[in-house]
Amino acid sequence: MAHEVVLLDFWPSMFGMRVRVALAEKGIKYEYKEEDLRNKSPLLLKMNPIHKKIPVLIHNGKPVCESLIIVQYIDEVWNDKSPLLPSDPDQRAHARFWADFIEQKVYDTAKKIWATKGEEQEAAKKEFIETFKILEEELGEKPFFGGETFGFVDIALITFYSWFYTYETFGNFSIEAECPKIIAWAKRCMQKESVANSLPDQKKIYDFTVWMKKYFGMD
C-alpha cells in the first residue's frame, strides 16, 4: 500500500514537534507544509474544521488531528519498526496516563512563565517545578520513561525541551538546578537523531517568543 503523508505544522509548536519525532522514529517520508497561524490555509480549515489547529497529519487524503492521537496513529499504522507504545495492555495504559498528565499539566503552566509577570508568573514557576518533580519521580533511574527504549511518554515531553531556555530566561530560574534528572533525560533523548533533527534550536525559540510578545503587545 502506498502511503501519501502530509504534515500541516508550525515550526515552534511543541505539539507539531511530537509528530515530527514520531515520523522520524519510524523513518516515514512525508511532505511538510508550514502554516501561517495568522492566516490559516484552506487546507488546514478543511482538514481540521473543529479546532482549526496544527498539527494535522494527512494520510492518503484523510486527516488525523491532535498530536498524541497522531503519534498513536503513526505507531499503529507503521507497526513494523520502532514501537512507540508497549505491547502489554497494562504498560500501554500506564504510558497513556503519563502522556495525558503531561498534556494536562505542562503547556498552560509553562506558557504563563513567559507570558505573565509578578505573582502569576511566580505561581506558574512553582507549579511548573512541582510538575517536573513528579515527572522525575516517575522517571526514577530509568534511561527513558518506558524503560530502556525511547517511546510515547518521551515524545510527549521532550518537545518542551526546545522551550526550556525561554522559560528559564523569562522566569529567571534554572530547570537543571531544580530538576537535574529531567535535564539528564532530555540530553539522552537529544542524542537520538529523530529528536535532535526535529527540535528547533532553543535560542531560535526564544527569539520567536520575544517577537511574539512584541507582536501581541505582551511586554
For the stretch 66-120, pLDDT in tens is 999 999 999 999 999 999 999 999 999 999 999 999 999 999 999 999 999 999 9
Q: What's the pTM?
A: 0.97
Spatial separation of the C-alpha atoms in residues 140 and 134, rounded to whole Å: 10
Q: Give the chain's residues under pLDDT 70.
A: 1-2
Task: Tell me the one-letter amino acid at 159.
Answer: T
Quote the DSSP letter at residue 85.
S
pLDDT at 136: 98
pLDDT at 96: 98
DSSP for 126-189, please give it.
HHHHHHHHHHHHHHTT-SBTTBSS--HHHHHHHGGGGGHHHHHHHHT--HHHH-HHHHHHHHHH
Using alpha carbons, select from 113, 141, 116, 143 the residue that is nearest to residue 128.
113
